[in-house]
Chains A and B, each alone.
Chain A
Amino acid sequence: DQQVKQNSPSLSVQEGRISILNCDYTNSMFDYFLWYKKYPAEGPTFLISISSIKDKNEDGRFTVFLNKSAKHLSLHIVPSQPGDSAVYFCAASGSRLTFGEGTQLTVNP
């Protein structure tokens, strides 16, 4: 039972354009959501988070949107840079973190 799903295994965008990564969840008890970024041969690193009492959180080029009624969150990266190429995991927190499958983002120069 996959409670957190990232339906796109991969995404390719041009440098300077917007990257939108999506994540859906099923458990309405989740109250905190996070995005992690992972480069090959490294552990995931925390990128940005959002509490369920908000619908948007922004940090520089990264913005996370939360739509609780749709149980959907998205990560927007604008403008995208080649160094953003990585696997992005969304995670949802109830009593513990549950991760999605990940989306491989490739930003082409």
Chain B
Amino acid sequence: DVKVTQSSRYLVKRTGEKVFLECVQDMDHENMFWYRQDPGLGLRLIYFSYDVKMKEKGDIPEGYSVSREKKERFSLILESASTNQTSMYLCASSLGRENEQYFGPGTRLTVT
């Protein structure tokens, strides 16, 4: 079974703080993704990576950056957290670019 784990289930941060969200997958998948889920907006792609040290902007990259130093790990960074980044953050991985994606349990981030 594919396992995607995320470092925290719940996180509360203050405005202006730097926030790191970690994601690890154990199936040697090439591709990893970060989404945020908001009511009525579905899953929106923030960043993705098709290989180590490679990153591509998704649909809503503003205010975020990512790091992929190792194949199994993909980190999402909020350089200076703002209240509009309060959301559910979901990490996913897949074997091929068009293959089904496997999701982690999500991190509920609240920025106050």
A interface vs B, CB < 8 Å? 6, 9, 31-32, 34, 36, 41-46, 49, 89, 91, 93, 95-102
Contact, CB under 8 Å: B43 / A99 = yes
CB distance from B87 to the nearest CB of A (A): 14
Q: Which residues of chain B are within 8 angstroms of A42 by Cβ–Cβ distance? A: 105-106
Chain-A contact segment, one of B14-22, B68-76, B93-101: B93-101
CB distance from A68 to the nearest CB of B (A): 17
Q: Mark B29-46, 1 if CB is under 8 A from A, else 0.
A: 000000100001111110
Band of interface residues on B: 20 to 34
Complex CA–CA separation, A93 to B45 (angstroms): 13
CB distance from A96 to the nearest CB of B (A): 7
Contact, CB under 8 Å: A97 / B40 = no
Choose among B48, B101, B102 the residue with the greatest number of A CB atoms under 10 Å from its CB. B101
Residue of B nearest to A45 (CB): B103
Complex CA–CA separation, A32 to B101 (angstroms): 13
Q: Which residues of chain A are within 8 angstroms of B97 by Cβ–Cβ distance? A: 95-96
**B4: which of A36, A43, A101 is its contact (CB, 8 Å)?**
A43
Contact, CB under 8 Å: B100 / A43 = no
